[in-house]
Amino acid sequence: MSKKVHKIGVLTSGGDSPGMNAAIRAVVRTGLYHNMEVFGIMRGYQGMIDDDIVPMHSRSVANIIQRGGTILKTARSKDFYTPEGRKKAYDNLKKHGIDGLVVIGGDGSFRGAQKFSNEFDIPCIGLPGTIDKDIAGSDFTIGFDTAVNTAIEAIDKIRDTADAHDRLFIIEVMGRDAGYIALHSGIATGAEHILIPETKTDIEAVVDSLEEKERRKKLVNMIVVAEGDETGGANEVLSIIKKRLPHLDTRVCILGHIQRGGSPSCLDRLIASRLGYAAVDCLLEGKHNIMIGIMNNKLHFTALDKAVKAKQRISEEWMKIVKILAS
Ligand code: ADP
């Protein structure tokens, strides 16, 4: 049933993540290698609707593998939720002769792609691009490794000043639904407590443990909290601790958007290059409407409608390791 694909469009959609540029570069250069025409679609699905579509050449993606953000820009498109918006997008693709799409984004972008390809005869390939690492069907997502390394760098600096003043720091990292950035950065920086949405947070136990540490004069402590933890963010954690331990010198630091930017790590560049290359291969082979991930170091294909946000289980062992190592 699959037709041969000759002209492909690539877009980045939803939240940006470092490494998206490396993925765009891989899609463009692999497409050109196979004598395809490749188009860059600006600002995600909104660019499809507005006909903001530009031909891409090998030089268009020169000098971007090391850059964060996305040269194609990204957006959230309200219009794409409507059948009229998607029809307009389809008409614009047809106008350019685009017969295959590579969508780099999160699960929302995949839902859009799935809907679009159900309505029109445009095969779509999704590549997981999100700093949260919370997509079913992939051990990695483009951007996670960089974000977590940015968090580590910042938390290490905070520990220096915390140590100088004997302070307790509560550091909030990104992760509305997933605690992977908090878990990995917390373990890697020796945080005393890590609060994540995947596990039940016993804030009273955290306070008890801080009291116990105070008794043995351990005053420098770091709590890393994911923004989506059920206790709330760093400010909510602070207000609970302040009530019970008002005398502690406590500070809050919310890392915020620095976690999204910056030059992608080696791992993110490799993943993005591998997935971008594979996306074009899949379109050529007639594999349609799938997300390509990596599991156990092998490419792994998931139907777009199954490539949803997934709360991955955090192993009990990790939480035990955190407790033992940060005593
Ligand atoms: P992410 O891809 O990072 O999860 P969003 O959830 O914001 O980000 O999705 C990105 C875009 O994908 C949305 O702005 C919208 O244009 C499109 N999209 C998401 N869900 C749907 C849907 N159910 N139908 C049509 N388009 C959708």
Q: Look up tokens 């709330």; give the residue.
A: 232
Residue 191 alpha carbon to ligand 1 centre in Å: 34
Would you place residue 317 in the very low, low, confident or very high pLDDT band (cuts 50, 70, 90)? confident
pLDDT at residue 36, rounded to an integer: 98
Residues 38 and 165 in one domain: no
Residue 1, pLDDT > 70, answer no
d(CA 259, CA 148): 7
Q: Please report the atom of ligand 1 found closest to the CA of residue 75.
A: 14
Ligand 1 is surrounded, with C-beta below 6 A, by 13-15, 45, 76-77, 80-81, 105-109, 111-112, 115, 130
Do 56 and 28 contact (CB within 8 A), yes or no?
A: yes
Would you place residue 327 in the very low, low, confident or very high pLDDT band (cuts 50, 70, 90)? confident
Residues 159 and 254 in one domain: yes
Q: Which domain holds residue 13?
A: 7-143+264-309
Q: Please report the atom of ligand 1 found closest to the CA of residue 76.
A: 14
Residues 156 and 268 in one domain: no
Structure tokens at 245: 């331990």
Pick from 11, 42, 80 the residue to mutate for probing ligand 1's pocket: most ligand atoms within 8 Å of its CB.
Answer: 80
Pick from 11, 12, 13, 90 the residue to mutate for probing ligand 1's pocket: most ligand atoms within 8 Å of its CB.
Answer: 13
Residues 273 and 293 in one domain: yes
Residues 219 and 190 in one domain: yes
Residues 184 and 302 in one domain: no
Of all residues in the chain, what percent are helix, strand and coil, respectively (each to 5)? 45, 20, 35
- We report the CATH number of the domain holding residue 157 as 3.40.50.460
Q: Which of 199, 231, 260 is the last residue of a domain?
A: 260
Q: Which amino acid is at 209?
A: S
Partner residues linked to 223 by β-bridges = 170, 193
Residue 311, pLDDT > 70, answer no
d(CA 136, CA 133): 9
Residue 189, pLDDT > 80, answer yes
165: in domain: yes
324: in domain: no
Would you place residue 119 in the very low, low, confident or very high pLDDT band (cuts 50, 70, 90)? very high
Residues 104 and 128 in one domain: yes
CA distances from 283 to 95, 139, 286, 290 (A): 20, 22, 5, 10
Partner residues linked to 80 by β-bridges = none
End-to-end CA distance of the chain: 60
E strand residue ranges, the chain: 7-12, 37-41, 53-56, 100-105, 124-128, 168-173, 193-195, 221-226, 250-254, 290-295, 298-303
236: in domain: yes
Q: Which of 226, 260, 294 is the last residue of a domain?
A: 260
Number of domains the chain contains? 2
Orientation of helix 316-325 relative to helix 180-188, angle to 10°: 30
Q: Which of 41-50, 145-154, 193-202 has the lowest mean pLDDT?
A: 193-202
Residue 312, pLDDT > 80, answer no
* Residue 62 backbone phi and psi in degrees, to 5: -70, 145
- We report the CATH number of the domain holding residue 14 as 3.40.50.450
pLDDT at residue 302, rounded to an integer: 96
As annotated, the binding site for ADP includes 25-29, 159, 190-192, 216, 218-220
Structure tokens at 64: 């971007």
Residues 15 and 103 in one domain: yes
Residues 16 and 105 in one domain: yes
Ligand 1 atom 6, closest CA: 108
Ligand 1 atom 5, closest CA: 108
Contacts of 138 (CB under 8 A, 6+ apart): 128, 291, 293, 294, 295, 300, 302
Catalytic annotation present for 51: no
More confident residue, 90 or 177: 90
Mean pLDDT of 76-103: 98
Residues 70 and 176 in one domain: no
Partner residues linked to 128 by β-bridges = 105
218-233 confidence digits (pLDDT tens): 999 999 999 999 999 9
Mean pLDDT of the chain: 95
325: in domain: no
Residues 206 and 249 in one domain: yes
66: in domain: yes
Pick from 111, 115, 305 the residue to mutate for probing ligand 1's pocket: most ligand atoms within 8 Å of its CB.
Answer: 111
Residue 313, pLDDT > 80, answer no
Residues 199 and 279 in one domain: no
68: in domain: yes
Ligand 1 atom 7, closest CA: 14
Residue 210 alpha carbon to ligand 1 centre in Å: 42
Residue 285 alpha carbon to ligand 1 centre in Å: 26
d(CA 207, CA 242): 10
- Three-class SS of residue 295? strand
210: in domain: yes
Residue 109 alpha carbon to ligand 1 centre in Å: 4
154: in domain: yes
Would you place residue 2 in the very low, low, confident or very high pLDDT band (cuts 50, 70, 90)? low
d(CA 125, CA 292): 7
Residue 108 alpha carbon to ligand 1 centre in Å: 4
251-305 confidence digits (pLDDT tens): 999 999 999 999 999 999 999 999 999 999 999 999 989 999 999 999 999 999 8
